[in-house]
Every structure is written in C-alpha cells, then in structure tokens.
Chain A
C-alpha cells in the first residue's frame, strides 16, 4: 500500500483501435446462441424482431389490447428465463408462439367463463362506450371479434394461428402440442361456429 500512496498521477489507459461494427442483421440461430450465453443485447434484438407477430396473436386471442400487452411482456421475460432450454430443433418463432399462446390460454382460463348463449350478442352493434369510436370501426369486424371471443380457448388459439397467421397444420400442432388431427378438428369446429354466428352478416 505504501507504494500506492506515493503514486499520485492517474494511470494512463491507452486507447486501442476498435473494429468496425457490421450492419448485417444476425439470423435467429446466432442471436439465440448469444442470448443463451448471456448476451442481453442479442436477446433484445430477438425480442424486437418477434414482438409484432407475437403481439398480434395475443391481441386476436385475448380480444383485448391491454391483456395482450401483459401476455406479450410476460412471454418475453419468460423466454429470457428459459432460453437455456431452447434446443434449436424447432424454429425460434415456433417456440415463441408456444410461449405466448400458452400464456394467453392461462389468462383466458382465469377469466370469468363466457356465457353459453354467446350467439345472441354477435349480431348486435357494439356497445358505444365511445360513440365516435363505435361509429368508426367496422361493425362486421367487431362482430367477428365478439364471435371469436365466444370460442373455447383451444379452438380460438388454433383458429387464430391458422386464419390470422396463416400457419400450416403441422406447425400449429408443434406449437400447441396437440396432434394434427386434433388441430384440424378444433379449427373446423371454430370455423363452423363462426360461420353460424356471422350468418346475419352474409
């Protein structure tokens, strides 16, 4: 310590030349490995890249932007905590779809049960909480939204992934953990139900 007390001037740190930063975006596989090794910035890049799609799914499954925002946020934090478990045999997007849809299903199950007679509401114009907004939105679109809200959770998820996200049956099966047959069944029942409810609009 004596030697230190005598040295009064701060030690000079030499500046080293820094390598140029490349602008090419990194692919998911690279970002995932980096995130698994603790690179927080890589995880942020992944989250930014995928958030739009995941939010869109959550909004259409939950039918409510605030709940969808919660589902998205919790799904992303969950993904960070569990990124070590991601094996890379499936695509990262498939894994993320699974995390967010599982969270949505969990949230739906915690809600009050949907009234059995959801059909009666579907044809009515939306309740004008905000009259200007109610006039603005497409009434038929709103009716479809309410009809979707009348679907059971597992049907809703499969239907959204198929009809809104355009995913194939095999991928939806991978996301939901159900068989492809079960997925097709859920989608068909959802489609039939929606067609029935939306009949007044045809």
Chain B
C-alpha cells in the first residue's frame, strides 16, 4: 500500500494505491462483523474440531487476519472472494448477501474501490 505525494509541478492530487493484501484485510474485518458469520475459512478446522487454538494455534495476524479472503485489485476495482462458516438457524443466502454488502461498503469507504464480492459458505455449524 503506497501513498504518493504530489511531486513538484504536479497539482495537489494524491494517488492512493491499495494492494491486494490490504484489500483482503479490510474485507476480512468487514465480513467477520456481519451477524451470522461464525468465522472465516482458516478457522474452519477449529470450528469443526471444536478445539479453540489447539490445532493451528493463534491467527498469525490476529484481528486483521485475512485468511479466508482472496482479493485482486485492478484499477479502481477489486475482485474479492470470502469463505465463511455460518450456523444453523441463520439463512445462508441472506448471510452471504449481507457479507457481499458489508465488504462492498467497507472497500468503497476505506479504499475507494468498487468491489465484486463472491461468498462461499464452506460449512454450516449444526450446534
């Protein structure tokens, strides 16, 4: 992620480039905040095994972890795929739509990017 200051002779415009990794993190934080999202893909093993932290250890990057999200930025747009785990009782279709919307809002607001978001519900917890 880079911030390029206007050089001498240029107008006062500042160009913001937001890279794939940053976009993925923004998307991940937004997705996790959606009601009905239990966790993102990397936590799937823990969710299935019911053993918090013991199998894979803590997320390397803590709350900003982008595991479960892949992003590609091109120009002013981003393609984002988010893999989530939901819980029985919440409507998969609706949670997925909510994630698409939350991620789009976050990327538009924080990175100025148009986002094409695709969600995969990898598992539905039954308990």
Interface residues of A (CB under 8 A from B): 1, 4-5, 7-8, 10-18, 21, 40-41
B48 CB contacts on chain A under 8 angstroms: 40-41
Q: Shortest CB–CB separation between residue B6 and chain A, in angstroms?
A: 27
The SS class assigned to the A binding surface is loop
Question: Is A4 a contact of B95 with CB atoms below 8 Å?
Answer: no
Q: Which residue of A lies closest to B99 (CB)?
A: A11
State A199–B91 Cα separation when bound (angstroms).
71
Instruction: Judge if B11 is at the interface, Cβ distance under 8 Å.
Output: no
A15 CB contacts on chain B under 8 angstroms: 89-90
Could you give, for residues 32-53 of chain B, a 1 whenever the CB lies within 8 Å of some chain A CB and a 0 otherwise?
Answer: 0111100000000000100000
Question: Is A14 a contact of B91 with CB atoms below 8 Å?
Answer: yes
Q: Shortest CB–CB separation between residue B33 and chain A, in angstroms?
A: 8
Q: Shortest CB–CB separation between residue A2 and chain B, in angstroms?
A: 10
Q: Shortest CB–CB separation between residue B67 and chain A, in angstroms?
A: 19
Decide yes or no: A13 and B35 within 8 Å by CB, A18-B88, A18-B89, A41-B48 being known contacts.
Answer: yes
Question: Is B102 a contact of A10 with CB atoms below 8 Å?
Answer: yes
Question: Is A13 a contact of B36 with CB atoms below 8 Å?
Answer: yes
Question: Is B95 a contact of A13 with CB atoms below 8 Å?
Answer: yes
Question: Is B90 a contact of A11 with CB atoms below 8 Å?
Answer: no
Q: Shortest CB–CB separation between residue A12 and chain B, in angstroms?
A: 7
Interface residues of B (CB under 8 A from A): 33-36, 48, 88-91, 94-95, 97-98, 101-102, 104-105, 108-109, 114-115, 126-127
Question: Is B108 a contact of A5 with CB atoms below 8 Å?
Answer: yes
Contact of B34 among A1, A10, A14, A41 (CB under 8 A): A10
State A83–B16 Cα separation when bound (angstroms).
52
State A40–B47 Cα separation when bound (angstroms).
12
Residue contacts A-B, CB under 8 angstroms, 7 given: A4-B101, A4-B104, A5-B104, A7-B101, A11-B97, A13-B90, A13-B98
State A1–B108 Cα separation when bound (angstroms).
9
Q: Shortest CB–CB separation between residue A26 and chain B, in angstroms?
A: 13
9 tightest A-B contacts by CB? A11-B98, A13-B36, A18-B89, A4-B104, A16-B89, A13-B35, A5-B108, A1-B114, A13-B90
B109 CB contacts on chain A under 8 angstroms: 5
Additional pairs, 20, CB under 8 Å, beyond known A13-B35, A14-B91: A1-B108, A1-B114, A4-B101, A4-B104, A4-B108, A5-B108, A8-B105, A10-B33, A11-B94, A11-B98, A12-B35, A13-B90, A13-B91, A13-B95, A15-B89, A16-B90, A16-B91, A21-B126, A21-B127, A40-B48
